[in-house]
A and B are shown apart, each in its own frame.
Chain A
Amino acid sequence: MQTQVPFWRAALLSLALLALLLGGWEFAARSGGAVGGTAIDPEYAALVGAAAAQGGQTPMPMPSEIGARLWQLLRDPFYVRGTNDQGIGIQIAYSLGRVGIGFALAALVAIPLGFLIGMSPLLAAALNPFIQVLRPVSPLAWMPLALYTIKDSSISAVFVIFICSVWPMLLNTAFGVAGVRREWLNVARTLEAGRLKTALRVILPAAAPTILTGMRISIGIAWLVIVAAEMLVGGTGIGYWVWNQWNNLSLADIVIAILLIGVVGLLLDRLLGWVAGAVAWQE
C-alpha cells in the first residue's frame, strides 16, 4: 500500500504539471509560428490566400487562443443559428440524449435478460455462443445495417449505443445473479418468499454492485462510441461538431471538444460511481 499523501500536495503537483504543459505548448506554438517566413511568390499568395501559401499548414493553436475560444463558446453554449451553427452545449446535449436513450434501452434489455441467464444454466450455455461472437464486434460495424433497416441516422446512432452498452451490462448482471450466495436463496426459500419477491429483495440487491460495475463500463464505452457514431451520421452532436470543426480547420475547437468530452465522460462515470456506492454492501 502507498502511504496517503495530503490532498493539497497532489493538487499542487497537478497544477504545476498543467502549467508546465500549457507553458511549453504556448512557447512551442509561438516560436513555431515565427519560423514560417520563407519567400513566397506574391502572385501565388494572391491566388490561394496568404495562409495557404505559407506552406498550407494551419498553425497549431496556442493555449491562450484556445482559452479565449473556450470562453467564447461557453459564454453562449445554447445558441442556434441554423442547422450547422449551434452552440456547443446543444451539441453535447444531443450526444448525451442519444447516449441516455441507448443506454437506458440497453439496461432495460440487459438486466432482465442477464437475470434469466444468471438463474438458468441452460439459457446461459445456449446464449453464450451468440454473446461471445457478437460482443467483440465494434459497435460501428452495425452502423450500415442500422442505417439500412432503421433509415434514420439519429436513431441509428442510438442503436449503436444500445449495442455497445448491452454486453457489459448483460454479462455482469448474469455473473452477479449467478453468484448470489446459496444461503441467501435458501433463506428466501425457507421463508416461502415468492419468485418476484426473491428476485427484487434478495437477488437484485445482492447482485447490484456487480450490475453497477457493468453499467459503469457500459456508459464509458457508450460515451467513447457516440463521438465516432456522430462523425458518421452527422447532423448534430459533439462528434459531428468535432468533424465539422476539422472540416473548418479550427483546431482550437477540436482541442476544446476533446476537453469537454473528457469532462462529460468523467461526470457520467462519477454519477454511476455514486449510484454504485449507494447500492454497495459489505459483509
Chain B
Amino acid sequence: MRHAYVSVEGIARRYPGATVFEDLWFGVNRGEFVCVVGHSGCGKTTVLNILAGLEAPSAGEVIVDGQAIEGPSLDRAVIFQGHALMPWMTAEQNVGFALSCRHRGWPRARLREAARAALVRVGLEQAAEKKPSQLSGGMKQRVGIARALAIEPKMLLMDEPFSALDALTRGVLQDEVARLVAEADQTAFMITHDVDEAILLADRILLMTNGPEARLAEIVVNTLPRPRQRATLHRMPGYHALRDHILEFLITRSRTLAGAPPAGWDPRRVPELRPADAPAALAAP
C-alpha cells in the first residue's frame, strides 16, 4: 500500500449521532481493478464520492498520486448509477461536453471527431445524433461509459453502473467494460451488489460490514487468471470457492462482524484472503 496510486487513509463519514463508517484504510494500485461489495447503508457510495472529490470525508484523507484530494478532478472520471446524461444534448454532444472540459482549446470540429471516436469504441456510432430519451437503458449507460473514457482519466470510478439494467444488457456491458479497462490498462474502482460482476472484473474485492459504523472487514484477492469471460467464468477452477466466500460474507459475516471490531483489530492491516487458491475439495462443503 506504500506505493499505491490511490491511498485511502483513515477516512470516516460521521453525521451528528451516527457514524456511517470510520477509520477506513485501503489502496488502489495503478492499473488495478478494485470492487467494493457490501450491503446498502455501509457507505459505499460515500466512499466513491470521496474518491471522486464530490464529498469531503469527516476525517482522514485520500492521497492520489502523492497529493491529497481537494475536489473533483478530470483525472478521476465517474460513471454514475443513473447514466446522468444531459437529456437536452445528443449522445455526441454529451461526450463532446466532457471533451470540451478536458481539452479547452480544441475547435468544435475536433471535439466532434473525438466524441464520435469515443462512441465508436462503445459501439454506438449509429446513435451519435440521438438524444438520451431515444436510447435504451443499456445504450445510455454506454454513452456514460464513452463520456468517462473519452477524457482519458487516470482512474475510473463506477457506482453500481449496471444495476438499473436488465440481466442480458448488464452481461454485455460487463464484458465491454472488462475489455475497455484491459485495453487502456485503466485503474478502476467500482461499487457493486453483484458478486459475479465483482469476480469477473476485479483484481481485489473489498468486503464491508453492515453499517452503521461499517468497516472494511476483508480484502479478497481475485486470483482467477485473466482474461476472464462471463460465459466461462463459472467453470474456472477456484471460481466457486471465491463466490461462496463472498456470498457467505454477504449473507452472514457482514452482519456478525458488524459493530465493534475484535480485539487487536488493525484497520490498516485488513486480512487479505485468496479463497480461489484453496483446493476445491477443501472449499466445497
Q: Judge if A89 is at the interface, Cβ distance under 8 Å.
A: no
Per DSSP, are chain A's interface residues mostly helix, strand or loop, or mixed?
helix
Cβ contacts under 8 Å, A279 to chain B = 88
User: Which of these, A186, A192, A281, contacts B101 with CB under 8 Å?
Assistant: A192
**Complex contact B53–A282 (CB within 8 A):** no
Cβ contacts under 8 Å, A282 to chain B = 87, 131, 133
CA A181 to CA B86, docked complex, whole Å: 10
Q: Which residue of B is nearest A202, CB measured?
A: B86
Per DSSP, are chain B's interface residues mostly helix, strand or loop, or mixed?
loop
Cβ contacts under 8 Å, B77 to chain A = 190
Query: Which 6 A-B pairs rank lowest in CB-CB distance, beginning with the nearest?
Result: A281-B88, A191-B101, A183-B84, A282-B133, A189-B72, A190-B72
Q: Which residue of B is nearest A197, CB measured?
A: B101
Cβ contacts under 8 Å, B82 to chain A = 183
Cβ contacts under 8 Å, B88 to chain A = 205-206, 208, 279, 281
Q: Judge if A187 is at the interface, Cβ distance under 8 Å.
A: yes
Q: Judge if A184 is at the interface, Cβ distance under 8 Å.
A: yes
A-B contact pairs, 13 of them (CB 8 A): A184-B86, A186-B52, A186-B84, A190-B77, A191-B74, A191-B98, A191-B102, A192-B101, A193-B101, A197-B101, A202-B86, A206-B86, A283-B132
Cβ contacts under 8 Å, A197 to chain B = 101
Instruction: State whether A186 and B78 are in contact (beta carbons under 8 Å apart), knowing that A191-B101, A202-B86 are contacts in the complex.
Output: yes
Cβ contacts under 8 Å, B74 to chain A = 190-192
Instruction: State whether A283 and B151 are in contact (beta carbons under 8 Å apart), knowing that A191-B97, A192-B72 are contacts in the complex.
Output: no
Q: Which residue of A is nearest B99, CB measured?
A: A191
Give the shortest distance, in Å, between A203 (CB) and chain B (any CB).
11
Q: Judge if B76 is at the interface, Cβ distance under 8 Å.
A: yes
Q: Mark B27-55, 1 if CB is under 8 A from A, else 0.
A: 00000000000000000000000001110
Given contacts A190-B54, A190-B76, A205-B88, could you give 11 more A-B pairs where the C-beta distance is less than 8 Å? A181-B84, A186-B78, A187-B78, A191-B97, A193-B97, A201-B97, A205-B86, A206-B86, A206-B88, A279-B88, A283-B87
- Interface hits, A159-187 → B, CB 8 Å: 181, 183-184, 186-187
CA A281 to CA B86, docked complex, whole Å: 9
Cβ contacts under 8 Å, A202 to chain B = 86
